[in-house]
Amino acid sequence: MPQFIHSRIIIIALATLATLAILAGVFQLGVSVGERKSRHFTRWFENYDRNLMPPGSRRPGPNMPPGGMPMPMLPNAHGVFGKILSVSDNSLIIQGKDNVEQNVIITSSTAIRIDRGVGTIQDLKPETEVSVLGAPNEQGQIQARLIRLFNK
């Protein structure tokens, strides 16, 4: 029996099975990340009016925002880099790359940084360049964990 366990064929077979198990795990992780991003993009699109449009405005069609322009590129689910368009008590609207607007939620645990120092919500002003890192929520918004200001 011990000679069977140390057989070269058995060792190669076990190594192959271990490699396949690792590859399957990595593949499943990639699928999970892709599904999470897909859910965020779907929620972002479904909640476009509520998150980014003034109350009472409506999209003229299922794929068209007000003005008849095609929907912009889909946003990044976990963050955005761009210019602040508007600030409210607990949210920002940021214009990211390709003019994609993202609604960012600020909580009491959101860290705000300016250079190496600490900032406050009062430092967040329109036209300020920011980088936001966070997590997507069920409404297609980004719940900010870190907001870094680039020009004050």
31-50: average pLDDT? 76
Domain at 9, CATH number: 2.40.50.140
pLDDT band at 151 (very low <50, low <70, confident <90, very high): low
pLDDT band at 1 (very low <50, low <70, confident <90, very high): very low
The domain tally of the chain equals 1
pLDDT on residue 28: 95
pLDDT on residue 24: 96
pTM of the model: 0.52
Lowest mean pLDDT among 20-29, 64-73, 85-94, 132-141: 64-73
pLDDT on residue 138: 81
Q: Is the pLDDT of residue 144 over 80?
A: yes
pLDDT on residue 136: 83
Distance separating alpha carbons of residues 92 and 76, to the nearest angstrom = 15
Count the neighbouring beta carbons within 10 Å of the beta carbon of residue 146: 13
pLDDT band at 120 (very low <50, low <70, confident <90, very high): confident
Distance separating alpha carbons of residues 62 and 49, to the nearest angstrom = 11
Range of the domain at 150: 1-152
> Percentage of the chain surpassing pLDDT 70?
72
Closest to 130 in 3D by CA, of 150, 152, 101: 150
Instruction: Sort strands 117-118 and 111-114 into parallel, antiparallel or unpaired.
Output: antiparallel
CA angle 93, 98, 104 (to 5 degrees): 20
